[in-house]
Chains A and B, each alone.
Chain A
Amino acid sequence: MTIATFLARVAVPLLMVGASGAWACPGTAPTALSLTLTPGEIRGVYHVLQVNVQTDGCLRVQRPRHWRDAGTWSGPVAAPALRSGAPTALAALVDFDGARVRAELDALEQARGEAFSVEGADRYVLRWVDAAGRSHQAAFDAIFQYAERYPNRADLAAFASLVSALQAEAAREDLVTLEPQS
């Protein structure tokens, strides 16, 4: 083990033990999976939630300014499915085209003489790197409302499930603050 590797994997985490006793993780490893959540109804770039799952099993979260515990937080990933890279959920999203899905759903509503809209929709963007090193991205607005409206859509269910798991990680109380937001 080189000095640099030792610092990254052992020494720095030791120095980042939070008051709760939980371990903070270094931010040096590449991101394997991430969620970017941009709310529609509140203004400003500081209101974006960013959740990064790193290849070393660490989690790095930028909680938005409007949250009760805003700032940068870190800790080991807790959910087993996320620790293993969420391969099942991501496999269902490799070819996901959010714009195409929306067009399909809008056409379906129109054919039924109905309409569906989510006002102030939030934008959810998932980015990940697969086992072969290829980068992927899937984006959708108001994923939870659409997944509820169309419960038989496996792609929407997979997207919502993964977002939900990442949000749960982001909100964990045992994460360690790296940079509280004033």
Chain B
Amino acid sequence: MSARTERFQSHRQPIRIVGCAMLAVVGGGWHAGAWAGAYVFANATRPDSVTHPQVYTGTGGVLEDLTICIDTSVNPALAAQAEGAVIKVVATHNRFLSLAGDNLALNAATDIPSGQVDFESTLLHEMGHCIGLAHPNHATESSLAEPSRNGTKSAVGTNGVFDQDAGADGLHGSRDDVRGDDLNLHWYIRNQNNPGLLPATVDTTTMIRALTALPAGHLFAANADRSVMAALGFANSEAVMQQGAFSNEAQRHFQHDDLVTLRLARTGLDRTAGTADDYRYALRYVGQLNNPSNALCNLRVRLDTSTGFAVCGLGGQTLPNGDLRVTSANLAFNSTTNWYFTAGPNTVTTITADTPDPSPVGQPFTVSVTVREAAGITIAGEPRGTILVTDGAPAPNTARCTITLAGTANETGSCQLTSTVAGTRELTADFIGFAGWDASRSTAPHTTGGVSVLFANGFEPLVR
């Protein structure tokens, strides 16, 4: 075996991971039951409208890639520094995985130098807007002050004002908020009200925007604000789409609330999972381009002074069912901001052994994996979290297992795969990231031999 470690996802070969299929394999620490966020363009007159990315026009299936590029028509040298972060955000989007908690980290638990703002975290947030996600909280567009603007996204009711009241727990955005006649715009799972949960199926059989399916005693839809999440028992957890960046904060992993919102959109116009209008697509980085057209680049990243920090400006068009699709999307980042530009993942995942290799068909073999800090990176503690391992066999014969790293020094984790199809394939170990630790991947070849037969005397024959 010869392990290969990838610090970048190649932009030439974007990974096409289908969310539902991938999420279905996720085991311990990943929950059923759920919650979701809100969509750009939903408002009082179209509260149930879902916003879809540019590549979706109402026809389901595997869509063409959604392209993203760096616009070098202004500040080209600075813009070029953003490339590593753009490539990482593309990979994060295409992994299509999320965490219940510990999707953010601060200060020494990150690789961000003191006083700097993480470009990658900001880009992940703005990219979410540019494919249709709104802030799950009131945010600044409500004109409410802190902390009221942490309340759940809604439109004003007939009284013309937000009736934002934190309720008995004093936390804005939690389930006991008293909201008068405010119109909720936040999708959630029926009879659940916990943004730290993730459903097996996401569509309108499980999700609803109206407040008619709240659990008993809940007054309003909760959102994945970090204080609300902490009260629910999820430390260091907040939806990426929640408004409000901080210096020295890394938020490079989707939280469940983000992913559920994306998955609901992917059920298409009928909002029913498993039907013909479901769609999926990959995000693809196309490079550094000078003032690209929308045809060349669906999401344009520019560093300039058209924003005081970061924005996504997007145009939309109404679809036949009242949903909207994005028609143009431009991301702008302030060029005078003290950005921290990541060069690549701050972890290195390595498959250290796969034994026996070759292994008999139908017999388990052990895959051992380590996750270490990348060269030049200093983050407090040790990498921990989940590693997803697959044998590379095509579905439905893909073998999978999961490793959970506890975060001890020099830790090696292992799990067993049982391949059911003969051949030499590429094992893949995907560390999905945790807090300030970035996701990274390792691959290694592995051969599975012919049929394995256990003799009656208990001895195993040679692989044939």
- A-side residues, CB < 8 A to B, are 37-44, 47, 49, 63-70, 113-123, 141-142, 144-145, 148-149, 164, 167-168, 171
Contacts and interface: CB of A to CB of B under 8 A. Distances in A.
Contacts of A164: 305
> Shortest 4 CB-CB distances between A and B: which pairs?
A39-B309, A144-B306, A39-B308, A119-B129
Contacts of B314: 116-119
A67 B330 CA distance: 22
B308 A118 contact: no
Contact of B313 (A41, A64, A66, A149): A149
Given A120-B139, A120-B311, A144-B306, 11 more contacts: A41-B125, A41-B309, A43-B244, A68-B338, A70-B338, A117-B316, A118-B311, A120-B307, A120-B309, A148-B306, A168-B305
B313 A114 contact: no
Given A114-B315, A115-B316, A41 B305 contact: no
B336 to A, nearest CB: 5
B336 A171 contact: yes
Contacts, number: 130
B166 interface: no
Nearest to B146: A43
B308 A145 contact: no
A111 to B, nearest CB: 12
Scoring A40, A64, A115, A167 by chain B CB atoms within 10 A of each residue's CB, the highest score goes to: A115
Given A41-B309, A42-B309, A171-B336, A66 B247 contact: yes
Contacts of B338: 66-68, 70
A65 B247 contact: yes
A106 to B, nearest CB: 10
**Which of A113, A117, A118 has the most C-beta atoms of chain B within 10 angstroms of its own C-beta?**
A117
21 contacts: A39-B308, A41-B125, A41-B245, A42-B245, A43-B245, A49-B308, A63-B336, A66-B334, A66-B337, A114-B317, A115-B41, A115-B315, A116-B316, A117-B313, A119-B314, A121-B141, A123-B140, A144-B332, A148-B306, A148-B313, A168-B305
B312 interface: yes
B134 interface: yes
Given A68-B337, A122-B309, A167-B305, A41 B243 contact: yes
Contacts of B41: 115, 117
B336 A68 contact: yes
A66 B324 contact: no
A148 B327 CA distance: 15
B126 A114 contact: no
Contact of B129 (A39, A65, A120, A149): A120
A148 to B, nearest CB: 8
Nearest to A146: B313
B316 A41 contact: no
B306 A47 contact: no
B388 interface: no
A164 B315 CA distance: 23
Contact of B307 (A115, A117, A122): A122
Contacts of A145: 306, 311, 313, 330, 332
A116 B51 CA distance: 12
